[in-house]
Structure 1
Amino acid sequence: MSNSIDGIRGVHNNPTAESQNQSKTLGSKVDSEAQARVSSAPTDSVVLTDVAAQVQKAEKVLAETPEVDEAKVKQIKAAIAEGSYQVNAKQVAEKLLNLEAGLSEKT
């Protein structure tokens, strides 16, 4: 690296130091501009529509609803234990066929 002497004083030109100083100055300027944009940026807000509020309410109700009707299960268990539960074979067969037909439509 060569050093040039300017005039009588012997001022050394150091391009690396000068560019670092410029980078620091530029960096602090960019940081202050970014902070100004952040502080003046509008805040975000969310407004739920009536439909969204109804969907949230429905989700809450569904989450609280049990998946199994315990009263019906208890009733069927009692009927099976007594031997009075009657299976409708035709209805079971129709439901199985409908299920099979529905599954084959999706594939």
Structure 2
Amino acid sequence: MYSIKQSSGNDLTRLPDNAPITYHVAGFDRIQFVSDIIQAVTLDGSKPILDLHFECDGIRAGGRITVRSANQYQTSTLYERLRSVQGVVKVEQVRPV
């Protein structure tokens, strides 16, 4: 079971290093929306994508992306990168219960 907690880069609970982290991302559908999400995650090459699922309907785009982040700093940086993608409205980190 998972719970969704809206997070900012500063209030993330400490997670074990190398733990899989899942984010729900929502925004406005546009050409290359998902490509830009992937580019934000893989920008420095240190966060492998473990799972990716997005659905778009021509207006809205939403989905989840699971990555393995090496440390807390990378987790905060990734959150900020996802928020900065054009068209992103909301980023939520899914936490195991």
Q: TM-score scaled to structure 2, two decimals?
A: 0.18
- Kindly indicate which of the two structures has a greater share of residues assigned to strand: 2
Higher RCO by CA contacts (8 Å cutoff, separation 6 or greater): 2
Q: TM-score scaled to structure 1, two decimals?
A: 0.17
- Kindly indicate which of the two structures has a greater share of residues assigned to helix: 1
Q: Which has the larger radius of gyration?
A: 1
